[in-house]
Chains A and B, each alone.
Chain A
Amino acid sequence: MDLLIRFVAAAVAAGTPLLYGTLGEIMTEKAGHLNLGVEGMMSVGACAGFLAGYYTDSFALALLAAFGAAAASALIYGVLTVTLMANQNVTGLTLTIFGIGLSNFIGILALGRSESGTLKLPEGITAQMRGAGIPGLRDIPVAGPLLFSYNAFVYIGIVIAVLLFLYFGRTKSGLNLQAVGHNPGAADAAGIQVTRYKYASILIGGGICGIGGAYCAMIINGGVWVSNNVGGLGWIAVALVIFANWKPLNAIGGSLVFGALRILKFYVPKSVLPLPNAFYDMMPFLITALILVVTSMRKKQNLSLPGNLGNHYFREER
């Protein structure tokens, strides 16, 4: 039982950066834009969040910096793909290479200028982040550690997921956004400001990804800066969007499942099930590939998938 609780807690920790990346990419894809730059935007957010936290010792400022910097990098993608109608795949990939490079570059620069030769977050912010869960509630047996013992990122992520769910399903603006993603021509004819919606969703989506990056930099390595700290999680998030079927609430469950897959190898004794570690690492990608194939085989129109995903919209070519 104790082991199980520890396992779930570890899965939540491993899944949280994925949740942010997935939510950010869902937001972006809802506007019909496939941004393969998740990994890059997360890296930019990681760098900005970490350095803001390091220098200001404030968790709130770190979050803000991560969101802002990643949104700024998403703006490059937005200008190129929305206004200048560049190819989305290539732009996204470039953003990934650029973002990882920039993040590592600035990180190493900051390392070189630090006195101790390492970058470690100060005590104050670590305490703010880890403030470990909700006082009082976290001491309840079983439910306490399962539900109330996490760092602030986890709860913020779930709140964002719920907000996105309400936004997409319950607000006019959310429906407008999805109309833009499905059929920008029709949305435009209906008087929806297509360009404005696209920019907003790309920027906000990028910002959300950035917070996930901050998690990677600030939590995963115990508050010490290392290069490549996002380490491919952004790509798993792109996969998770499909797994979650473009639904924010599914993203919570999906990132928990993928988080569990990422740590399962440490919890399944080799004497019981002699599977190689690589098998567990491969699982998220294998499952996503299967989902892709199966959904395309069913041929049923998927209403959650933004119909115009990946195409640019030029008013005069309707």
Chain B
Amino acid sequence: MNRNANIDSRKRTEPLLRVVKRAELTGRQIVLLRLLAVLLALAAGGLFILCLGYNPVAIYTRILSGATRSPMAIQATAKIVIPLLITSLGVTLAFKMRFWNIGAEGQIIMGAIFASYFALFHADWNHWVLLGAMALAGILGGALWGLVPAFFKARYGTNETLFTLMLNYIALYLISWLQDGPWRDPGSQGFGKIARFDKNASLNKVFGVHCGWIVALVLVAAVFIYLRYTKQGYEISVVGESQETARYAGMNVRKILLRTMALSGGICGLGGMIQAAGADITLTMGVAGGVGFTAIIVAWLSQLNPVIILAVSSLFGILEKGSSVVQSDFGLSTDCADVLQGIILFFILGCEFFIRYRFVGRGHGEKAK
């Protein structure tokens, strides 16, 4: 009787499930948990495809083979991966510092705009000098667009998530202004557009893909080394963990903030230059095309690790290219790739929880300790 009353009162006060911290998992357990999450995500995506009346296995194999079946398909996949990879590396620097740079989209655009100036008005320069100038301009454009929110964050604590978001659209409409106004191609009819770059101002091809892929791979190594083995990289992670600690250790947090955002924006800007001069061979409003947002997902999925970023952005490239093949073969639209990417990240985000916490059912309080 007494005992029953006890349980009753416990039922009333204790929630059905509660959350407790768990002892740290080993590295292998964490990897297994994440792999499980990806498998579950693929299963959930398969269920979705099944509900639409298609065979998920057939669709998945088609995505994989469609993106890799021929040298041409691989080249097309690589072309998708390059901007995504570079941008993901860029945002990684900011995210490591817990600076929510949602503005990669705008930084890509500004880089592309700055680089396009040289491509359009100095196309007669020596090819390598011109490309060098375009790359520097791209880095500068992106860095400026990253420095603006960093400056206000450091000086006044302005919310960077929302500020960088606004800067994306300001940059986007700058292109719209340029293509309708000062940079309008006199030969274009109806809607304004910017002239195609001279061949002299476009990136050379190596193995059939513009040489941006070499830059991207070099950046993977550079960012990896920078974050892991340099003093500046260390400072970034300290500021990310706790600004107070960084200050106490004598670091100039404001300077680190500005420097890192200039780098982060600069890398994204370089990505914009490469996309404009390598893939589009002109400047359009679609130069970023959502890559800045997808890059955030890639960086997060990869735990901000440059080597994993290489793998995940390749996976996303395969999903995207493969979806276009699925579109022509099965009549499913390429938006399928976005849905699958979303599902995968939802599952990974969910699984992170189980690495640090676990649920305890009602009445199992003792075991929690």
Q: Which residues in A have some Cβ–Cβ distance to B below 8 Å?
A: 34, 36, 76, 79-80, 83-87, 89-91, 93-102, 104-105, 108-109, 112, 227, 232, 235, 238-239, 242, 276-279, 281-282, 285-286, 288-289, 292-293, 296-297, 299, 310, 314-316
B191 to chain A, nearest CB (A): 11
| B158 and A105 contact, CB distance less than 8 A | no
Contacting A at CB under 8 A, from B1-60, are 18-21, 52
Q: Which residues of B contact A310 (CB under 8 A)?
A: 161
In the complex where A97-B297, A276-B180 touch, is A86 in contact with B350 (Cβ < 8 A)? Answer: yes
Q: Which residues of B contact A95 (CB under 8 A)?
A: 342
| B165 and A235 contact, CB distance less than 8 A | yes
In the complex where A98-B339, A276-B177, A292-B162 touch, is A91 in contact with B331 (Cβ < 8 A)? Answer: no
| A276 and B159 contact, CB distance less than 8 A | no
User: Does B245 make an interface contact (CB < 8 A)?
Assistant: no
The list of the 10 closest CB pairs from A to B, nearest first, reads A98-B342, A101-B338, A278-B177, A84-B353, A105-B335, A282-B173, A108-B333, A296-B158, A86-B349, A289-B166
A113 to chain B, nearest CB (A): 10
In the complex where A89-B161, A100-B338, A105-B335 touch, is A279 in contact with B177 (Cβ < 8 A)? Answer: yes
Partner among B159, B176, B333 whose Cβ is within 8 Å of the Cβ of A281 = B176
Residue of A nearest to B101 (CB): A89
A8 to B353, CA, bound (A): 49
Partner among A109, A235, A282, A316 whose Cβ is within 8 Å of the Cβ of B332 = A109
| A292 and B338 contact, CB distance less than 8 A | no
B316 to chain A, nearest CB (A): 11
A29 to chain B, nearest CB (A): 11
Q: Which residues of A contact B341 (CB under 8 A)?
A: 94, 97-98, 101
Residue of A nearest to B18 (CB): A315
A108 to B323, CA, bound (A): 14
| B52 and A109 contact, CB distance less than 8 A | yes
| A292 and B353 contact, CB distance less than 8 A | no
| B102 and A93 contact, CB distance less than 8 A | yes
A259 to B19, CA, bound (A): 45
Segment of B65-73, B288-296, B305-313 engaged in the interface with chain A: B288-296
Q: Which residues of B contact A101 (CB under 8 A)?
A: 335-339, 341-342
Partner among A79, A94, A242, A293 whose Cβ is within 8 Å of the Cβ of B342 = A94
User: Does B343 make an interface contact (CB < 8 A)?
Assistant: yes
| A86 and B297 contact, CB distance less than 8 A | no
Q: Which residues of A contact B165 (CB under 8 A)?
A: 36, 235, 238-239
User: Does B244 make an interface contact (CB < 8 A)?
Assistant: no
B residues contacting the other copy or chain, number (CB 8 A): 50
A282 to B168, CA, bound (A): 10
User: Does B229 make an interface contact (CB < 8 A)?
Assistant: no
Contacting A at CB under 8 A, from B220-247, are none
Residue of A nearest to B181 (CB): A276
Q: Which residues of B contact A87 (CB under 8 A)?
A: 300, 349
A86 to B297, CA, bound (A): 13
Q: Which residues of A contact B100 (CB under 8 A)?
A: 89
Query: For chain B, what secondary structure do more than half of its interface residues adopt (helix, strand, loop), or is it mixed?
Result: helix
User: Does B170 make an interface contact (CB < 8 A)?
Assistant: yes
User: Does B214 make an interface contact (CB < 8 A)?
Assistant: no
A-B contact pairs, 7 of them (CB 8 A): A97-B293, A97-B342, A98-B342, A235-B165, A276-B180, A299-B156, A316-B21
| B296 and A315 contact, CB distance less than 8 A | no
Of A83, A98, A277, the most chain B CB neighbours within 10 A belong to A98
Residue of A nearest to B15 (CB): A195
Of A79, A101, A310, the most chain B CB neighbours within 10 A belong to A101
In the complex where A98-B343, A101-B338 touch, is A278 in contact with B176 (Cβ < 8 A)? Answer: yes
| B338 and A36 contact, CB distance less than 8 A | no
A80 to B352, CA, bound (A): 10
Partner among B169, B294, B353 whose Cβ is within 8 Å of the Cβ of A97 = B294
A13 to B50, CA, bound (A): 40
Q: Which residues of B contact A227 (CB under 8 A)?
A: 335
User: Does B262 make an interface contact (CB < 8 A)?
Assistant: no
A87 to chain B, nearest CB (A): 7
| B350 and A84 contact, CB distance less than 8 A | yes
Residue of A nearest to B336 (CB): A105
Write the B149-165 contact mask toward A (1 if CB under 8 angstroms, else 0).
00010001111011101
Residue of B nearest to A84 (CB): B353
Partner among B158, B335, B337, B346 whose Cβ is within 8 Å of the Cβ of A94 = B346
User: Does B345 make an interface contact (CB < 8 A)?
Assistant: yes
User: Does B174 make an interface contact (CB < 8 A)?
Assistant: yes
Of B166, B177, B332, B337, the most chain A CB neighbours within 10 A belong to B166
In the complex where A93-B293, A97-B294 touch, is A293 in contact with B350 (Cβ < 8 A)? Answer: no
Residue of A nearest to B331 (CB): A112
User: Does B135 make an interface contact (CB < 8 A)?
Assistant: no
Q: Which residues of A contact B332 (CB under 8 A)?
A: 105, 109
Q: Which residues of A contact B152 (CB under 8 A)?
A: 292-293, 296
B329 to chain A, nearest CB (A): 14
